Amino acid sequence: MKRKITPTKVERVMRENDFIVSKTDPKGIITYGNPIFIEFSGYTEEELIGSQHNIIRHPDMPRAAFKLAWDTIQSGQEFFAYVKNMSKDGGFYWVFTHIAPDFGPGGRIVGYTSVRRCPKREAIGKIEPVYQKMLQAEKSAGARDAIAAGTQVLVDLMQQTGMSYEELVFSL
């Protein structure tokens, strides 16, 4: 269950050797979180297990970014991104995330594993304005067309740079 939390400007910075690990079922329900995930999220293990992974979604993240993530991993591919997450106390923490599908018998997706590490500060400085522009486009377009408008900002950037999404992320 997503809780009503007021974001603050308090940032928690990941330590260089930290790895935040979580696992979900195919619908995004958390089934596992390592101690560092519990620490940075500010939730107890009991609060996290059984909750939607979007419990840590920060409102500064565009909806289109998560649509891209879901579309990618549900198609059986890995996904990489810089993500701003929100802790239970309203603070935030940036991560560089790698999400991969977990496959069961017959190649069926049985869940997802996300491993997040300390992001490069210069990369955050580059992606944050992109996310702000995507959010602005989403808000201007209205709820019905928000995701398409946010996605278009990203598509335009990829066309301008001549890079695929993955190339863009890894170039940061």
60-109 pLDDT, tens digit per residue, is 999 999 999 999 999 999 999 999 999 999 999 999 999 999 999 999 99
Q: Where are the domains of the chain?
A: 19-171
Cα 145 to Cα 59: distance, rounded to the nearest angstrom: 18
> What pLDDT is attached to residue 4?
84
Q: Are strands 109-117 and 30-33 parallel, antiparallel or unpaired?
A: unpaired
> What pLDDT is attached to residue 2?
53
Residue type, 157: L
Cα 155 to Cα 163: distance, rounded to the nearest angstrom: 10
Is the model's pLDDT at 1 over the cut of 60?
Answer: no
Q: Which CATH class is domain 19-171?
A: alpha beta
pTM of the model: 0.94
Per-residue confidence band for 3, with pLDDT thresholds at 50, 70 and 90? low
Cα 119 to Cα 137: distance, rounded to the nearest angstrom: 25
